[in-house]
Structure 1
Amino acid sequence: MLDIFKVIAALFVIGAHCHFLYEYSEVSFRIITNGIFRIAVPFFFCVNGFFLYAVFKNNRMQTWLKRVGILYAIWMLIYFYFWTYLQDFNVLKMMLTLVFGFNHLWYLAALLVGGLVLYQLRKMSNKVLIAAAFLFLLLGIAIQYVGQLHVFSQQPTLDKLLNYPPLHRNFLLFAFPLLSMGYVIRRTNVHTKLSKKLVAILLITSFTLFIAENLIAYYFITGKVILNTYLSYLFLAPMLLIAAFVFKKNANLNSKLLASYSIALYLIHPFIIFLIYRFFTLDSPTLLFVTILVAGIASYLLILLNKKLKYIL
């Protein structure tokens, strides 16, 4: 069930990047695209934190770092043209992109360093890790709001810095908190101790809180501004992870293949969107459908290629 969730999450990321429903309904776009779809990346971080427990326990941190580092380097090279030649040439901008990641590759950069931070703090108690997760995510949210509300509009340089996404959506203020939640879930094995009824209640409650936080920000705080971080990520992402285990199905599915598809879809879809935008003008539902179709085919080819070259996925 977890791998099915991961494929769905990858499709959610594609939907968000295709700005699904943007031109049709502002409220639907806010709830679905900027709401439901955006839980995908926090969920991915939570899943990685869950599996980092085994990495730490079996002393395979060096292997994990090598895998994530090579994956990041390869895909930064694949997208090299897009983050160099298609942007105004600026050495500082290029260096920052190299460090924080181009477009969706920020996830790998944050995962790599966030995993290192969690490794250094792995022996801390569950309470301390959870408290740290809330503290750092809240700090990121605070920076985000100060920037989006232009509190320092009279100081253009500072205002611009506060609105620079990597300042709050990074390894420490975004990745580490969610990795920690996944790690604590695995360390406590709480996913094996909760009843289906309780998990369903907690999942519905956390989902409701997430939508409420999204709409409150939209109507009363930031207006049309799209936010990257919500406090309710720390409730909904872990509950989705737990639900994937509690509501697991005994289906004869190729778990490794599904996992490969989720990674491939995530990594390749911006390339597909760039190509479509270059030759066609499509409304968001059509763009989403075509992107999923082409990205699905491209992902299959990447999976075949990965069997020979390795480290592509």
Structure 2
Amino acid sequence: MQKTSRNILLDILKVIASLFVIGTHCGFLFEYSELASQIVTNGIFRIAVPFFFCVNGFFLFTVFKNNRIQTWTKRVGILYLIWMLIYSYFWVYLNDFNLLKIISTFLFGFNHLWYLAALILGGLVLYQLRNASNTLLIISAFILFLIGIVIQYLGQLHVFSQQPILDKLINYPPLHRNFLLFALPLLSIGYVIRRTNFHTKLSKQFVKNLLIISLTLLIAENLITYYYITGEAILNTYISYVFLAPALLIAAFTFKITSNLNSKLVSSYSIAIYLVHPLIIFLIYNVVSLSPTVRTFVTIVLSVIASYLLIQLNKKLKYIL
């Protein structure tokens, strides 16, 4: 039986976003140009997670509509617990069994797994707000996101340097990069896009312009912050995310790449690459010394191979992807 061609651009973008995360964590281009690394690695590549949240918000509309929130919560929750267990050596053993750090890490997520922790709680909060008006959801999204950015700047600029405890607290990433001030706003935007079918109402030219303007804003914000505000500090959040992430989501439906490829399989690679790549980076660090850019490409290759194995294993064990 001949397979039906379908648009897989969204799944391709998800895989590319996963590769962006690898580039960010490996310091892509850093040895060649600090400016290029700042623009690409610490700027453009960091759109990956905001994009993931937007995509999840988009599909949560169907989850809510079909009353499958419990199934969704169970799936994401089990995924989080399994991968927290896989990485337990790093956040339990290497923390010398410091109970406070262990509890904190479990609640907010180890390293990249903060995404899953924030996704679960953000999704549950959005479920409670699912019947709120589109206007309320969008305005709330911007306000919450802005609060997170303000907290981030207060920390990076060490406004409370005279109060060491407060300064240390406000520089704690989970204080602003969490389910309420990061995940929920982006989930809400994706949810509203799907609920209003906004992604079907724009012309290709408009979406192109939206992408160009949003990307320009991100680069400009990144450089202004770098040169005039925080210097060498790397920020986790930029206000332009709330424009570029939805623009990418909309573009995935506006432009089409048709293929007979299994969309679910392509999507599984994006999840697997995201989840396994820190382990690959750790192994590389302990085996061979590589430049950041070379390390990026080696990590990508090994992560894709590891992802293939995880996908095969998932067919038998389930819940690991």
- 1:253-283 residue CA offsets vs partner (Å, 9 max, x unmatched): 2101100000000000000001111111110
Q: Give the 3-state SS of the residue equivalent to 1:205 in structure 2.
A: helix
State the TM-score, normalized to the length of structure 2.
Answer: 0.97
Provide the C-alpha distance between the structure 1 equivalents of 2:243 and 2:96, rounded to a whole number of angstroms.
Answer: 40
- 1:75-105 residue CA offsets vs partner (Å, 9 max, x unmatched): 0000011111123431111100000000000
The alpha-carbon deviation at position 289 of structure 1 amounts to 1.1
Aligned residue in 1 for 2:112: 104
Q: Is 1:57 aligned with 2:65?
A: yes
Q: Give the 3-state SS of the residue equivalent to 1:45 in structure 2.
A: helix
- The unaligned stretches of length 5 or more in structure 2 are 1-8
Percent of matched pairs sharing the same residue: 74
Provide the C-alpha distance between the structure 2 equivalents of 1:256 and 1:156, rounded to a whole number of angstroms.
Answer: 48
Letter in 1 for 2:135: K
Letter in 2 for 1:157: I
- The unaligned stretches of length 5 or more in structure 1 are none
CA contact (8 A) 2:31 2:292 kept: yes
Provide the C-alpha distance between the structure 2 equivalents of 1:27 and 1:148, rounded to a whole number of angstroms.
Answer: 19
Q: Is 1:250 aligned with 2:278?
A: no
Two-structure CA RMSD over aligned residues (Å): 0.7
Alignment length, in residue pairs? 313
2:178 to 170, 174, 182: 170
1:153 to 153, 158, 161: 161
Aligned residue in 2 for 1:261: 269
The alpha-carbon deviation at position 128 of structure 1 amounts to 0.5
Provide the C-alpha distance between the structure 2 equivalents of 1:281 and 1:12, rounded to a whole number of angstroms.
Answer: 21
Counterparts of 1:1-313 in structure 2, within 5 Å, are 1-313=9-321
Q: Give the 3-state SS of the residue equivalent to 2:259 in structure 1.
A: coil
Letter in 2 for 1:9: A
Kindly indicate whether structure 1 or structure 2 has the higher relative contact order, using CA contacts under 8 Å at least 6 residues apart: 2
State the TM-score, normalized to the length of structure 1.
Answer: 0.99
Provide the C-alpha distance between the structure 1 equivalents of 2:96 and 2:188, rounded to a whole number of angstroms.
Answer: 37
The alpha-carbon deviation at position 15 of structure 1 amounts to 0.5
Letter in 1 for 2:20: F
Provide the C-alpha distance between the structure 2 equivalents of 1:159 and 1:193, rounded to a whole number of angstroms.
Answer: 46
CA contact (8 A) 2:141 2:189 kept: yes
Provide the C-alpha distance between the structure 2 equivalents of 1:32 and 1:144, rounded to a whole number of angstroms.
Answer: 21
Q: Give the 3-state SS of the residue equivalent to 2:258 in structure 1.
A: coil
Q: Which moved more, 1:1-10 or 1:83-92?
A: 83-92
Provide the C-alpha distance between the structure 2 equivalents of 1:115 and 1:131, rounded to a whole number of angstroms.
Answer: 18
Provide the C-alpha distance between the structure 2 equivalents of 1:248 and 1:16, rounded to a whole number of angstroms.
Answer: 27
The alpha-carbon deviation at position 24 of structure 1 amounts to 2.0
